Amino acid sequence: MIHILFTGGTISMQRDAAVGGNVPAHGGEALVGLAPGLDRIAPYRIEDWARMPACHFDHDRLWTLRERVRVVAESGEAGGIVITHGTDILEETAYLLDRTLEPRVPVALTGAMRTSSDDGWDGPRNLRDAVAVAADPASAGRGTMVVFAGQVLAGRTATKSHATDVVAFSAPHAAPIGRVSDGGVSYAATGTAPAAPIRPESLRARVAHIPMVVGDDGALLDLARPAHDGVVVEAFGSGNVPPGAVAAIGRWLDEGKPVVLASRCWWGRVTPVYAFDGGGARTTAMGAIPAGPRTPSQARMELAIALSAGVPYGSA
């Protein structure tokens, strides 16, 4: 049995001329009716959990969704779980589920970049592909995955890399772990097993994400500090920041609030080799933590999970 949990997003939307754009319209039953053939893949059941745009999620809603997925996975009633989700923050949801849930029951997140009002609506294909992944015996133990445009990406590596194209997701610090073609799922011969999950009791930690700009003097870092428990600094290149921001980074560290250095570059990671003022070698020597194989959004979610669980960033 595959449990299909509908949360909303573009896959559930259609164009409404009266309001001048796309709005949520379809519930789970309607979407399944528009994606014929699911019953030939696997038995399924439908849960209409929500019908909202992804940008309406906050930490509390993300955690509520995570808890619902956990309950379904632990019930023993579902061999796989599919979540339809808006693409705007799908990567945050995928990362959270991948890092905090046991990987035994596969969870396949998907969505769409076109609505049912558009030519080339990609929702039905993505939904069928996600059900195929969740139902495939080879998916057991792989944890959370993002299934989109025929690709299967590990939840901890997937990120939205195109604002409008139907091939919207990629893994800049990894590679797809599989593909879906004509309803068949194939996985790469080698892959990295999911990391041991972190188990926070909530997603209580508040983490800021501050991008550096030319000539940055640290003003935004200082403004954000009182209301946040940690910060991801989106640095230049391999982890460098303007000299004017260094003192502000130091004030976070002096208060015992972690600072993670991520790169604004799409490929590659923070490598602290520059020792000039503002260079990554200097700020990491002060105590800043390189993001590792994570985009800024993934680094922010990793830090929020770690702080909420009381464990070091990047543990497990």
Instruction: Give the catalytic positions in this structure.
Output: 10
**Cα–Cα distance measured from residue 90 to residue 130, given in angstroms and rounded to the nearest whole number:** 14
> Contact at 8 Å (CB) between 182 and 130?
no
Q: If we measure between CA atoms, which residue out of 132, 162, 135, 157 comes closest to residue 146?
A: 157
Question: What is the maximum span of the chain, computed from C-alpha positions, in angstroms?
Answer: 62
**Cα–Cα distance measured from residue 5 to residue 82, given in angstroms and rounded to the nearest whole number:** 6
Please report where in the chains the tokens 């403004």 appear, as a residue: 223
Element (H, E) at 127: helix 123-135
Work out whether the CA dihedral 74, 76, 82, 84 comes out positive or negative.
Answer: negative
Q: What angle do CA 311, 194, 39 make, to 5 degrees?
A: 130
Q: How far from each other are the two terminal CA atoms of the chain, in whole angstroms?
A: 31
